[in-house]
Amino acid sequence: MASFNSWNDRAAGVDYGKMHGSKALLTDALKDKMGFDGFVVSDWNGIAQVPGCRNDSCAQTINAGIDMVMVPDDWKAFIANTTAQVQKGEIPMARIDDAVTRILRVKLRAGLFEHKPSDSRYAGDANAVQHRELARRAVRESLVLLKNEAQALPLRLTARVLVVGKGADSIGDQSGGWSLTWQGTENSNADFPNADSVLGALRAELGSDKVHFSADGTGVDAKAFDVVAAVIGETPYAETNGDILASDTVSHSRANPQDLAALKAAAATGKPVVTVYLSGRPMYTNDLLNLSSAFVAAWLPGTEGKGITDVLVAGKGGKPAHDFRGRLSFPWPGMPCQAPIDRPDAKKPALFAPGYGLSYTKGGKVATLGEATPDSCGEVTTLPIFNRADTPPFALHVAAAGATQPLGNDLNATLRWPATTPVVQVRTVQVNTQQDAKEVTWLAPAQLIARSTSRRNLGALARSNGALQFDVQLVQRPASPVKVTMQCGTGCEGGVDIAPLLARLSLGQKQTVTVPLACFAKQGVALGAVEAPFVVTADKPFAAAFTQVKLTANTANAEGAVVCP
């Protein structure tokens, strides 16, 4: 698959441009020089990023060497346009023949013309899952023990265990992004047949009668247990949703405060706390390490929760059946602003160096660590609020008549709320990129609100000539004012009416809206304590899609910016 990125060789002064349109990369280098005889597929609407191309038309990308084009929405127009381009000679017929040959070659090699996949030997046999033991072994041997004090591990077979944490009974969290769904979110354990969560694996090893689960670690009698096992980690993500900006910290707790709360509750019991950390990348975890007696980096074990308990639980003789063999392949951050972490930095030394990893026979004590908790790393020039999914600490809600409903991050979900007499409808659509926007239809008075978990001080952004920016695509013209406001507590709200701006758009047209922060201040918003930086209110029928909601510095004077009333 061709990537969205661009290539250049600064030393040679060569710019290959977007990979989707680069014959030098796709054909000259990959196919000719390297001898690749398979086929090249484009990424989702990747052709539109080639200069002069659109989602439904791009002769350049086919001539460059793309053999199969991923066109999710505009495929009918793409077929018509490509056919016309071949007929006009813009795309040589020889290039089409080559692309078809490559695609058929791969299918023949895969045996797709010999029989139907449903006729395969193990098709439909849930008990014939191959390589399961190998996957379990991979999990077992990749676990990295970062800390183990007072012999918290291994767990005795007789131990009574309180299990806490949102990841304990979530195979989705164990699997990460690009698992069944794009971002890996909104999956249930039922979607992963023949799989084991960490909780399920512990119950299988120790017995269900000795394992109790409480996601947040509250409301249980700690005296009934010998040890607390906390399974925490990052919410699944893929590209875009999982991006960490240069101005953001790499603190796990800042992005996942519920994990810190669960671990604090676990530590408050006075029992040893064994933490299993699920993550696909290195994060700052000093506070979590301090709260843990033992800490295991378990990465993303997928379906094989039993690969974790193979190492964590002792055998009948009290000795572990398997020892920790995993070692870090990168520096583990010791500071929340330690990025990039792919190379040594004398000014920002790693907490654990590459190659670090304890075992049952090697050490285990880690000194109490410092706990820096900055809000950001350096000057914040952009504060994302929403793009495809909620950006912590902000979350989208709809509200009406004093009630609110969070939208969540399920990209495939639709909402009609309230269910009995809906006043608003919400669904995921595409404005700029795949599933990046929320299309909101007002049926009666309602609001779309991005609310923070705590009040935000936007003073610095305001002083740097900042603005609220968002992309809007008009679906249905408004029949009344459409107010974009900010909220700063009870009775503290102000903003502007964007209905006149929307009236100038044609249906389906996209517009980037810029509202200077000074406009909100002028309308009485206390920018030093903003609870909701993006509120859209309409009282009569109206529909539009919203995405790329953010606060940005030095944009108040952007072309087309709203003039403060």
Strands (E), 353-466: 382-387, 389-390, 394-400, 403-406, 414-417, 424-429, 437-442, 446-452
Question: Half-sphere exposure (CA, 13 Å, Cβ side) for 381?
Answer: 4
Q: Exposure pattern of 484-519 as b/e (b: 16+ CB <10 Å)?
A: bbbbbeeeebbbbbbbebbeeeeeeebbebbbbbeb
Strands (E), 320-477: 382-387, 389-390, 394-400, 403-406, 414-417, 424-429, 437-442, 446-452, 467-476
Q: Please identify which of the residues 74, 191, 226, 239 carries the catalytic annotation.
A: 239
The token pair at 371 is: 């706990």
**What is the C-alpha to C-alpha distance for residues 320 and 428, in angstroms, rounded to an integer?**
48
Q: Which helix (H) or strand (E) holds 78?
A: helix 75-87
**What is the C-alpha to C-alpha distance for residues 527 and 376, in angstroms, rounded to an integer?**
18
Chain centroid offset of residue 65 CA: 31
**What is the C-alpha to C-alpha distance for residues 470 and 326, in angstroms, rounded to an integer?**
45
Q: What is residue 164's three-state secondary structure?
A: strand
Q: How far is CA 418 from CA 390, 421, 425, in A?
A: 21, 6, 9
Q: List the helix and strand counts (H, then E) for the chain.
A: 14, 22
- Residue 118 has what DSSP assignment? G
Tokens 């980690």, located at residue: 233
The token pair at 231 is: 């399974």
**What is the C-alpha to C-alpha distance for residues 355 and 367, in angstroms, rounded to an integer?**
19
User: Is residue 43 annotated as a catalytic residue, yes or no?
Assistant: yes
Contact 210, 159 (CB under 8 A): yes
**What is the C-alpha to C-alpha distance for residues 352 and 356, in angstroms, rounded to an integer?**
6
Question: Half-sphere exposure (CA, 13 Å, Cβ side) for 427?
Answer: 8
For residue 62, which amino acid is it? I
User: Is residue 173 annotated as a catalytic residue, yes or no?
Assistant: no
The token pair at 49 is: 């990023």
Q: Which of 205, 189, 208 is nearest to 197 (CA)?
A: 189
Q: Which helix (H) or strand (E) holds 255?
A: helix 252-255
- Count of residues making up the chain: 565
Q: Please identify which of the residues 28, 43, 98, 497 carries the catalytic annotation.
A: 43
Active-site annotation, residues: 43, 239
